[in-house]
Amino acid sequence: MPEFIFSPTIVVIPLLICFVVIELGISRLLGRSVYKFQDSITSINIGIMSQFVNATGAIISAFMYAIIQAKYGTFTWDLTSPFTWVFSLLLYDFMYYWVHRTGHEVNMFWASHITHHSSEQFNLSTALRQASTGFYFKWVFYMPLAILGIPVQVFVIIGLIDLLYQVWVHTQLVGRLGWLELFLVTPSNHRVHHGKNDYCIDKNYGGVFSVWDRLFGTYADERSEEPVRFGIKTPLNSWNPVWSNLHYWVGMFRKAGAQSNWRDKLMCFFGEPAWVPGSNPAEVTAKSPLTEQSPLTEQQIDADSPALIRLSGLLMTIVSAGLLVLYLGSKQQLPPLVQILVVIFAVLVFASAGLLWSKESKGGAAHE
Amino acid sequence: MNSLALSDGVLLIAALVIIMKPSASTGLRLSAAVFGAAALLGVLRFSTLLPLPGMHSFFSGLGASAAYPLLAAAFLWPDSAVAQSWRFASIFLIISGAFGLIASALEFSLWGNILAMLSVIALLLRSMKDRDVMAVIGSGSLLAALLLFSSQFSLPPALQPGDFLHLFMALGLTLMATRSLRFPQQTTSAALTGVNLAPMD
C-alpha cells in the first residue's frame, strides 16, 4: 500500500468544494438563484477529472520548464527578494494573458479551453470546470520565465497563486469593486469574459491583472443595461464530463475532414473559431452568431433532473473527489504505467456515468 | 571586441534592414526578427558588453528550428497566411519553436540543424525552379553558412566558424529579401482570399 503524502493540491481541492457550498448557502440566504444542481455537479466532476489527467499531464509542463531553465536560464534570482516574486507574478500573468487569448482565438486551443466556458451558469463551481486537454500547449508560453532563469519553485508557486486568485472571480454575488476594476481582474469584469453577448466575445483575458487587456485593447466593462448571458454560443447541452472535453475536437476534425483543400483544412485548426471555409481570415472579427440549433431547449436544460440522477451525480462527485485526493497523495510512489491506467480508468468511469446521465435526463436522446 | 561580435553586428544590421522593409513579407520579417535578436545577443556576448550566453543559445536554437522553416514557408508559399499575416506567422513560429524546445529537452540537438538545412535546400530548389538568380545566390549563401559552420571551417586568426555563419547569413537574407522588391507583395486581402494578382514566374 503506497504511503499517503500531502501536497498543496490535496488541501486545495476539498477547500474549493467547501467554497462552492458556502457560496450556494449565501446565495440561498440572499434569495439569488445562481446554481443549477446538475450543471454545478457537472462542473465539479469536470474539475475532478481534469485533476486526474493534469496531475500526470502537468508533469510535462514542469519537466519542460525545469530542463529549459537549467539549459538556458540567464540570470540568478534571490528567492528572499520581494522583487523576484513581484516580477515573476507580473511576467507570469502577462504570459497567462497570451495563453488565455490564444486559447480563445486559435481554434485548436479553443477546443480545449471551451470546456471551461461550457457552463450556462456562473458561480464558483464554474471555476472548477477546467479542461483536461489544455496541458499540451500552455507550457510553451511560460518559457520566457525559464529563459530568464526564474527558478522552478517560483514558477510553480506563482502559477498556483495566479490560478487560485482566479477562483473567487467566478461569482455573481460580488458587484463592481470601484477603483480595483482599473487594474485587477474582478468578478464584474470576469463575468464579461464568460458572457456570450456580442460585447463580451473575446474580452477580458487577464488572470490577476486587467491592465494587459487595457494595454492590448481587449478590455470591456460590464454593462448594467445588458445583463450578461453566460456560456457558449452553441450550448454544450451535456452533463458528460468527457464529452464536454471532446465535443469541440470532434466537430473541428469533422469540419477539417469536410474541406477540399489543405488551406481550409489548416484554417479549421489554426484559424479563429468563427472562421468559415472560403472566408478571409483577416476579416473575421466575431464568433459565430447564435443561429445553430441546440438539441435541447433552455427549459429542458434548466429543468431539474430526476432525483435518482441527482443522487448518483452527488455520490459520484463525493466518491471521485475522495479517490482523487487518495490518488494525488500516493501517485508519486506509483509506477508511471499504473498512473496512466488510473487516469484512463477515471476517464472511463466519468464517460460511462456521463452517458448514463445524458440518456436518463433526455429520455434516451443522444447528445450528439 | 572580437570578430564574432563584428560579424554578428553585420547580421544584426541585415536583419534590421529586412524588418524595417514594408515590402518584405510578414513571414520574412518575423524570421529576420528572430535572427536579429540572436545577432544582437551575439554582439552583446562577444563584445563582452553584456554576455548572456544562455539567451544567445536559446535564440540561436529558435532561429534554427523555427525561423529558418518560417523563412522557407514564407518564400515557398508567398500567398499563404503564414507569409502574409502576423497572426499566422506567430503561430507558426510558436509551434515550430515548441517542437524545437522538446527536441532540445530530449537532447536531440540535430533537430535544429536538420530543419535549417532542409529549409535552405527547399529555398534553393525553389529559387532554381523560378530561375531567380538573386534568390539562388541568396539561398546558396544560406546553405554555405550552414555547411561552413557545421564543418567548423575557419581562417585563423581572422575568421572563426561563427563568422562565416553570420556573414553568409547576412548576405543570404538580404538577397532573399530583394525578391520582394522585384516581385511586389500582393495586398493582404487578395493574398488571404487566394486571388493571385501577381504571378511569381
Q: What pLDDT is stored for residue B187 in this prediction?
A: 43
Dump pLDDT digits (tens) for B69-126. 999 999 999 999 999 999 999 999 999 999 999 999 999 989 999 999 999 999 999 9
Does position A102 have pLDDT exceeding 60, yes or no?
yes
Does position A321 have pLDDT exceeding 60, yes or no?
yes
Q: What pLDDT is stored for residue A366 in this prediction?
A: 35
Q: Is residue B194 part of a domain?
A: no
**Residue A236 cell numbers, joined:** 454544450
Instruction: Compute the C-alpha angle A123/A125/A129, nearest 5°.
Output: 120
Confidence of residue B189 (pLDDT cuts 50, 70, 90): very low
Considering its fold, how many domains does chain B have in total? 1
The span from the CA of B123 to the CA of A111, in Å, is: 34
Q: Is residue B98 part of a domain?
A: yes
Among B55, B192, B194, select the one facing A147 at the smallest CB separation.
B55
Which site among A72, A272, A284 would you substitute to test the B interface, given the most B Cβ atoms closer than 10 Å to its Cβ? A72
Q: What pLDDT is stored for residue A303 in this prediction?
A: 58
B192 contact residues in A (CB cutoff 8 A): 280-282
Does position B22 have pLDDT exceeding 60, yes or no?
yes
Please report, for residues A188, A295, B2, B198, the alpha-carbon distance to residue B18 in angstroms, rounded to integers and kept in the order given.
45, 53, 25, 21
Dump pLDDT digits (tens) for A247-306. 999 999 999 999 988 889 999 999 999 888 876 655 544 444 333 434 444 544 555 667
Does position B159 have pLDDT exceeding 70, yes or no?
yes
Nearest one of A190, A185, A184 to A171, comparing CA atoms: A190
Q: Is residue B188 part of a domain?
A: no
Q: What pLDDT is stored for residue A350 in this prediction?
A: 87
Percent over 70 (pLDDT), chain A: 88
Q: Cis (ω within 30 of 0) for the bond into B22?
A: no
Domain of residue B50 covers: 3-183
* Pairwise pLDDT comparison (A93 vs B1), residue with the higher score: A93
CB B141 within 8 A of CB B11: no
CB A119 within 8 A of CB A43: yes
Q: Is residue B197 part of a domain?
A: no
Residue of B nearest to A64 (CA): B105
Q: What pLDDT is stored for residue A285 in this prediction?
A: 43
Q: How many CB atoms lie within 10 A of CB A86?
A: 11
Q: Please give the model's pTM, rounded to 2 decimal places.
A: 0.88
Reported as type and span, the H/E element at residue A341 is: helix A336-361
- The predicted model gives A174-180 an average pLDDT of 96
A141 contact residues in B (CB cutoff 8 A): 94
Q: A67 CB near a chain B CB, below 8 Å?
A: yes
Q: ipTM, 2 decimals? A: 0.84
Q: How far is A288 from chain B, CA to nearest CA, in Å?
A: 19
Q: Is residue B189 part of a domain?
A: no
Residue B201's contacts (CB-CB under 8 Å, 6 or more residues apart) are B130
Q: Is residue B84 part of a domain?
A: yes
Q: What pLDDT is stored for residue B109 in this prediction?
A: 85
Q: What pLDDT is stored for residue A349 in this prediction?
A: 87
Q: What pLDDT is stored for residue A123 in this prediction?
A: 96
Does position A160 have pLDDT exceeding 80, yes or no?
yes
Does position B199 have pLDDT exceeding 80, yes or no?
no
Among A72, A149, A267, select the one facing B57 at the smallest CB separation.
A72
Q: What pLDDT is stored for residue A280 in this prediction?
A: 60
Which site among A76, A140, A264 would you substitute to test the B interface, given the most B Cβ atoms closer than 10 Å to its Cβ? A140
Average pLDDT, chain A: 87
Does position A334 have pLDDT exceeding 90, yes or no?
no
Does position A233 have pLDDT exceeding 70, yes or no?
yes
Running DSSP on this structure, what letter comes out for residue A287? P
Cα A88 to chain center, whole Å? 22
Confidence of residue B179 (pLDDT cuts 50, 70, 90): confident
Domain boundaries, chain A: 8-237+295-361
Q: What pLDDT is stored for residue A361 in this prediction?
A: 58
Nearest one of A51, A48, A61, A55 to A17, comparing CA atoms: A48
